[in-house]
Structure 1
């Protein structure tokens, strides 16, 4: 899939995941490289084939027996990740901020960034659909920044206002949903299906890990965490391992990775993010594998209700 096209964030300039300064919880996101055309086409095909679980409006065409069959959990998964990312279940399409973290502007529902290529993907696609938009004039600069992984914002005067203005357009919000689905949700669903992870909570755990750790091959990426879990558990749910026990093992490995990542540059901010894992563990302890709503999560000392 996309793994070889998006190197681990640890190999990028700027080090580890981004940290939101105030107010609300620490903010983290996997850093994605500049998006190549072939990767976009491939992930779009996966999106059409498998459906997307990141869009609040819900996906269609989900295969029977998959993690989202029987009912629509897209909204719930999206809200849960939003709590982990932004401290609120309300999807933050208009969010934009320079976090001084080596990635330029961070913006939108999934923390797309100007130095990483994923924000360019959003703006490029939106401009193809709506040529006369407030962000269109920034495309050449965004391409240059993504190509060099530059965190410079000196040539982006007025960009935050333009992003917030575009976020009022339902078409722009839909583009954000699509790109989130392609970059995070489709790879997570593929791994869920391949490993027999069929519960909504299992899907949510993999999607959130994709958002924070990335979907690339590497010692801290989602695929490697799944492989390590399978090795530790002697298989996956597809091999007959109890899904609850497998998820507990997966979350233990994710917590250990956050506390001791392969790159020392990420250790401080990742160590502060274990509340994400604690919140997922609490749902598992409560037996809420179906993510039955309403439920409350408290990753950052500020309980949020989803439902």
Structure 2
């Protein structure tokens, strides 16, 4: 049986047992929950919509980290974001930084960005065109690929979120410390539901692989966004990521009531 057929069988089983399709992170309310969960870890706040103007160098060798999903000047996604913004609104306040962003891509350098890039980023963040560009790039690069892969693996909302959060932090690449490598490590230990495996067993394997990848990088060695957040939901059997949700990240407590 093909993986697609297995995934379809898993869906049919869920429908027969519950009378409804499994929860999907693309549901607007579920997606908002996902954004708040990520924001709790990235920005110590549940108000993810207040983060369009966030920008700082967190000393992780990725240059500036900014915006609602942590676009980085050193990893290419910030460059692509500003290119999209400029295509939609030529002459915007960040357009003049495109040559510098191209030069610093792949490095931690601020050359050509300082001293006014952070100020101008905050100015751009007030522009609805830039906010929409951030939303669209978040979805294109991180959210949509993560959710699509999770659904192919037969995972419900919690698993979809686990993939998304991993892709946000580690990037969508295929090396051992990127999302693709983490998923590969998990697949070596357990089968996802689409391959006939147990969803909880597989997600534990995925979170174990995620922790190993986090510990391999000094900037990510605090694994609480797995240990006291995602693992808490998993231990409670909350595979649909249904509120109320209570968790901790970096020692801070958060609750989503509904």
Name the TM tier (shorter chain). 0.7 to 0.9
| Larger CA Rg, structure 1 vs 2 | 2
SS at structure 2 position matched to 1:305: strand
Match of 1:125 in 2: 84
Q: Which has the higher contact order (CA 8 A, sep 6+)?
A: 1
Structure 2 gap segments, 5+ residues each: 1-20
Is the 1:96–1:108 contact (alpha carbons within 8 Å) kept by the matching residues of 2? yes
Does 1:77 pair with 2:34? Answer: yes
Match of 1:172 in 2: 130
Does 1:275 pair with 2:234? Answer: no
Match of 1:159 in 2: 117
TM-score, reference length from structure 1: 0.70
Query: Per-residue displacement from partner, 1:74-108 (whole Å, max 9, x unpaired)?
Result: 11111111112111111111101133443332211
| Structural mapping, 1:53-132, within 5 Å | 67-68=24-25, 72-91=29-48, 92-132=51-91
Q: CA offset at residue 156 of structure 1? A: 3.2
Q: CA offset at residue 296 of structure 1? A: 1.9
Cα distance in 2, alignment partners of residues 213 and 252 from structure 1: 14
Cα distance in 2, alignment partners of residues 69 and 98 from structure 1: 31
Q: CA offset at residue 299 of structure 1? A: 1.6
Query: Per-residue displacement from partner, 1:238-295 (whole Å, max 9, x unpaired)?
Result: 0221212211221122223333x3xxxx2x33322x1011110001112222222232
Q: How many residues align?
A: 234
Cα distance in 2, alignment partners of residues 71 and 143 from structure 1: 34
TM-score, reference length from structure 2: 0.82
Does 1:136 pair with 2:86? Answer: no
Which moves more between the two structures, 73-82 or 113-122? 113-122
Is the 2:147–2:161 contact (alpha carbons within 8 Å) kept by the matching residues of 1? no
